[in-house]
Structure 1
Amino acid sequence: MTRPSRTLRFFAVIGALSTAVVVLVLLTVSVRCTCGGPGVPARTVLEIDFERPFLEHAADDPVARALGGGGPTVDDLVAALERARTDDRVVGLVAHVGGAGSGFARTQELRDAIAGFRAGGKFAVAFSETFGEFGPGNQGYYLATAFDEIWLQPSGDVGLNGLMMQGSFYRGTLDKLEVGVRMDHRHEYKNALNTYTERAYTPAHREASQAVLSSMFDQFVADIAEGRKLAPEAVRTLIDRGPFLGPEAHEEGLVDRLGYRDEVMAAVKERAGAGAELLWHDRYLDRAGRPHTRGTRIAVVYGIGPVARGKSSFDPLFREATMGSETVAGALRAAIDDPEVKAIVFRVDSPGGSYVASDTIWRETVRAKQAGKPLIVSMGNVAGSGGYFVAMHATKIVAQPGTITGSIGVLGGKMLTRQLFERLGVTYDSINSSANSDFFSENHDYSAGGWQRFQGWLDRVYLDFTSKVAEGRGLPIEKVREVAKGRIWTGADAKQLGLVDELGGWPVALRLAREAAGLAADADIELKVYPEEKGLLGALLGGGDGDNSEAVAADVQVAIGLAEELRPVAAELRALGLGPGAHGAVSTPPVALGD
């Protein structure tokens, strides 16, 4: 294969740059020209597509959204259904539900939003082609039971077969590869370590996992029983007999009607009345306007994804967010410093991560209380380890019954890979300046003194974590040590243990925020997200981070996402001798201190 000429490559690069400019212009226009347009029909049926997984919150990254990184969000759905509940133009709701889900606690949040909508006296119909196609459909069916009517395509199934937790263990693989695991934890329930050191559940791992599964299954059964008007024991018996073919599910009362999409929509429109029109829930929200836009200001800050130092980010390919300490701590500072803000709602959905980053965010939650700004934490699917660390000093903590909570513990260490690479013919030699130069090296085991030093680090983090939980939650340290040890709990169990104050989602968090701010239960409020969204043009042209660190509230760098997309173009420019780092550039080998 011949390589294209430099001339052809040049024009290809220019074309790519021109395309990028056009995309920027179109995105800017789309962001800025959103005024006008159709209104909400006089008889509207909201339509929701639950086949797409719901994110907690869309990152302020228009480029990522344009590349497919956006999608429906929990906060938008909750806002749309709350707005629609009292909107006389909206008469009902129809949703396309499948077998997949967005996590157990998030599904409970969605069920709560649907229940709130129905409380306004409006109907809600769920339709599914299948709840799992010869596969599990538990979560999708669980969501569907929040509706007053469930339709199933005749060829579909109901994969209602119970819940299962399954762990993966890589000790056997690591042994075969001759990779040593030099890690430790605090304490026996910090079970992430077992993935690398064990071949099966330890007694502590099994105990904690079984307790979580049992709690979730009890919630699962109770909610399905309530939704389908069945006795809980009858639901347990049905689940033991599952999964079900469509006609069987209909006979057992698990679904109300069998039919195809066109039949569902015809029935929905007949139920809604003459002239009824369908409208996607997000389009409705755009046209009708979000609730809570006027009144006493309550700040909203999102802490989504693994905790890391630096800025928050969003990966549009894997649809995964990272909770950056710089961004989230800056957002909290901005809310604290805003005299208009009377309370803060901090939405957390995180499995944990960096201890230092978690501590940076924790400090701002302390400062909020010192400044007289009540801080209410609302938990999503998971608030474990670092995700609980950032929440533990809140004025009040709210979790769904199925939220994975706690994991008050720590783990760390390193993998020893020297033998693996030596088998592949790679050998190592080193020159050290100091006794502990190889402390972090994966080619060297800890020395006796180094291992002792590492154990001291684990002890220090665990003591700090448990002490801050005791202080933040107002619990005796002995009680905290009993429920800590790295153990996870469901939100329901965490409430019994004093780690959580109330069960629920956004509506509960807003009620507590009003109460903490001294507002009436029906007081008008303005929900303002921090950091403020800049949009594409603002991110590209809005300047830097201010004149100094005191001026930094927090901003998600949209330009970074764009830079990644243009990186191949930049490489081509360098290859053509038209950019920095081209022919004649002098480079030096990287130096990493401590390796």
Structure 2
Amino acid sequence: MHLRSLPLLDQLPGAASDPRPLLLEIDLARGMAEQGPKDPLSALRQRNTPTLGHVLSGLRRAADDEQVVAVVLLLGAPIATTHADELAMALREVSAAGTRTVAFAESYGELIAGTLAYTLATACDEVWLQPSGSVAMTGVAVSVTLLRGALDKLGIEPQFSQRHEYKTAANQFSAPTVTEPQREMMQRLADSVMEWARAAIASHRRLSPEQVNAAVAASPVDADRARELGLIDRVGYRDEVYTTLRESVGRDGEVEQLFAHRYAHRVSSKPAEQLRRRRDPVVALVPVHGQITGGRSRNGGLGGRAAGSDTVVAALESVHDRDDVRAVVLHVDSPGGSYVASDAIRRGVQQVRATGRPVVASMGGLAASGGYFISMNADRVVALPTTLTGSIGVLGGKLVLQRALDRAGIVSESMGTHPNATMFSTLQPFSEDQWQLLDRWLDRVYDDFTRKAAQDRAMAYDRLEPLARGRVWTGADAVERDLVDELGGRQRAVQLACNLAGLDRERIRLATVPQVPLLERLRPAESTRSPAAVNALLPDGPESLLGAVAGELLGAALPGGALSLPWTLRLQ
């Protein structure tokens, strides 16, 4: 007998549900966080900003709930490409279950590109557009800015080396023009993303690829023309969307409106649900978000969010002693960073697998270079079509500021005990011997990265290496080259983890680890394995002005270390 069938549970406070039909809403104007804040103050400030995970959970539950009669997606605010990927997949599942889904926007781009917003909208059964709006499905653009000319004028000398021709992070400082390998790679990324968008639009709107291409060429188009082209279903205002949906169900007022993430909370907080799940096995979610660094993780500040190897490895180790944890999903949204920190996290993944627990890597928007390094050893690797991954390569170097300081009248001098004590000083260039040292180190790291990638992906080295060389691939292209196992979002990753562990997806708890109670966080850590140590974050402390400026300059080229993504792709 299931717990939910016990009559007593229906009598508990909060167990009774509102019998009214539910109209779920996803309002992108409220923003969407990748994960919830760890501290209470931030949680209070962001209480009205849902996390992607909670929205996806609400949609997954809605697909099996007859009380949910429709889902409304309100577009207009910017959204991350991969968030759009995840939402589109979830909305299609809701639609396939027989629940009506409707997208509305005042405009799919107003004097800006609206390709991404419109592509997401087509995942819904109906697409609405305000009469004054337009569809600006203008395609995908990728841009890069080169600073070499400006640096020369300022007296700043870039000195970088990379492995190999596609590892172009430092090109924005050292290259006077866009190189052919960089141009080739960027063009392919844009083409791949557009292929994903075109295929999705054609499938969801029942259009041919040629019709989609014609619509892109004609964009932006007004509402009437968009309807003629088959891009939208209805022209109307937002209130008309809700009126139409209410009328399709019954009298006005009978339908309850509820955000999808609040619906997920309502369902999961029912006493019957909590009691039923208390003994369910756990699939642990370990997030790796931000630049990969050594030490502890950092939530933000001038350096941005960082995934510290100490924090991530401790989280992975925390599952070893938990009998209830049966599988792990490693959610990676990182441009990479430190080579040694990435290697430490990869080792942590290996150790979890050695306990017999499967590990599935779920790639978010970025899982490149160091982000790929920590993912490639998982039992299965899942990426979204627009994930930026690969970038199997390495770079290193510095910006020499001495001439710029001289021009500014600043006197600065470095002294050291040995010839290489000042090797990475920005006050002097590399010597010939130091260049050789740097190149030998880069060769060693590249060889280690590529050989481990070939081993982890069960590929011959001669097949893997041409796919490396620092080249960035979309998730769609990475799957075709066996760098990734399959396309899908975090929900698919959880399902795969359940399959590998022999679990029923409907009878598990998905829990971010470690979950440390507030009082436990306030206690001093007893060791590196104690919960307080695992959950510790570096403070977002003040930095000197010079350090902040130098960090911004160097961070653009080396966001977190030798294994880092060259640049950011923006869908326009």
Q: What does 1:358-437 correspond to in 2, within 5 Å?
A: 358-437=342-421
Higher-Rg structure is: 1
Deviation for aligned residue 1:69 = 8.8
Assess if the C-alpha contact under 8 Å between 2:516 and 2:532 holds in 1: no
Q: What does 1:348-359 correspond to in 2, within 5 Å?
A: 348-359=332-343
Which of residues 7, 16, 20 in structure 2 aligns to 1:42? 20
Deviations 1:257-290 (A, max 9, x none): 1111211211122223331111111221221117
Deviations 1:283-339 (A, max 9, x none): 212211179945222111111111112222323899x63212121111111123322
Cα distance change, pair 139–115 in 1 and its aligned pair in 2 (3 A): same
Deviation for aligned residue 1:555 = 3.7
User: Which piece of structure 1 moves more, 135-144 or 245-254?
Assistant: 245-254
Cα distance change, pair 70–404 in 1 and its aligned pair in 2 (3 A): farther
Which of residues 256, 268, 275 in structure 1 aligns to 2:233? 256
Assess if the C-alpha contact under 8 Å between 2:103 and 2:127 holds in 1: yes
Assess if the C-alpha contact under 8 Å between 1:297 and 1:343 holds in 2: yes
Structure 2 residue 508 is matched with structure 1 residue 525: yes
Matched with 2:219 is 242
Assess if the C-alpha contact under 8 Å between 1:296 and 1:526 holds in 2: yes
Q: Distance in 1 between matches of 2:210 and 2:312?
A: 45
Matched with 2:132 is 155
Q: Distance in 1 between matches of 2:529 and 2:299?
A: 25
Deviations 1:524-583 (A, max 9, x none): 212221011434x543x3x122x222435854447947x98xxxxxxxxxxxxxxxxxxx
Which of residues 71, 78, 81 in structure 2 aligns to 1:93? 71
Q: What does 1:70-469 correspond to in 2, within 5 Å?
A: 71-98=49-76, 100-103=78-81, 105-274=82-251, 275-289=254-268, 293=277, 295-315=280-300, 321-469=305-453
Deviation for aligned residue 1:42 = 2.3
Deviations 1:350-376 (A, max 9, x none): 111111211111110111121211100
Counterpart residue type for residue 287 of structure 2: Y
Counterpart residue type for residue 376 of structure 1: V
Secondary structure at the counterpart of residue 204 of structure 1: helix
Counterpart residue type for residue 41 of structure 2: V
Secondary structure at the counterpart of residue 137 of structure 2: coil
Q: Distance in 1 between matches of 2:385 and 2:29?
A: 23
Assess if the C-alpha contact under 8 Å between 2:524 and 2:532 holds in 1: no
Q: Distance in 2 between matches of 1:554 and 1:146?
A: 43
RMSD: 2.3
Counterpart residue type for residue 330 of structure 1: A
Assess if the C-alpha contact under 8 Å between 1:494 and 1:500 holds in 2: yes
Q: Distance in 2 between matches of 1:272 and 1:324?
A: 51
Matched with 1:11 is none
Counterpart residue type for residue 544 of structure 1: P
Q: Distance in 1 between matches of 2:538 and 2:369?
A: 31
TM-score by length of 2: 0.87
Deviations 1:98-127 (A, max 9, x none): 162212x32111100111111221001111
Matched with 1:573 is none
Counterpart residue type for residue 353 of structure 2: K
Cα distance change, pair 133–420 in 1 and its aligned pair in 2 (3 A): same
Which of residues 475, 482, 485 in structure 1 aligns to 2:459? 475
Which of residues 519, 524, 527 in structure 2 aligns to 1:544? 524
Q: Distance in 2 between matches of 1:212 and 1:153?
A: 32
Deviation for aligned residue 1:39 = 5.1
Deviation for aligned residue 1:97 = 0.6
Count of paired positions: 522
Which of residues 29, 32, 35 in structure 2 aligns to 1:54? 32
Q: Distance in 2 between matches of 1:100 and 1:317?
A: 23
Cα distance change, pair 559–174 in 1 and its aligned pair in 2 (3 A): closer
Counterpart residue type for residue 77 of structure 1: V
Assess if the C-alpha contact under 8 Å between 2:161 and 2:397 holds in 1: yes
Identity %: 39
Matched with 1:484 is 468
Q: Distance in 2 between matches of 1:117 and 1:220?
A: 20
Matched with 1:25 is none
Q: Distance in 2 between matches of 1:538 and 1:351?
A: 32
Deviations 1:232-263 (A, max 9, x none): 11101110111112222122221111111211
Structure 2 residue 482 is matched with structure 1 residue 498: yes
Deviations 1:426-445 (A, max 9, x none): 12234332121211110011
TM-score by length of 1: 0.83
Q: Distance in 2 between matches of 1:53 and 1:394?
A: 31
User: Which piece of structure 1 moves more, 465-474 or 288-297?
Assistant: 288-297
Cα distance change, pair 385–203 in 1 and its aligned pair in 2 (3 A): same
Matched with 2:9 is none
Assess if the C-alpha contact under 8 Å between 1:134 and 1:157 holds in 2: no
Deviation for aligned residue 1:199 = 3.3
Cα distance change, pair 534–407 in 1 and its aligned pair in 2 (3 A): same
Cα distance change, pair 311–64 in 1 and its aligned pair in 2 (3 A): farther
Assess if the C-alpha contact under 8 Å between 2:62 and 2:68 holds in 1: yes
Q: Distance in 1 between matches of 2:41 and 2:311?
A: 18
Q: Distance in 1 between matches of 2:536 and 2:297?
A: 8
Counterpart residue type for residue 524 of structure 2: G
Q: Distance in 1 between matches of 2:46 and 2:53?
A: 19
Gaps of 5+ in 1: 1-34, 565-595
Cα distance change, pair 70–530 in 1 and its aligned pair in 2 (3 A): farther
Q: Distance in 1 between matches of 2:88 and 2:45?
A: 29
Matched with 2:547 is none
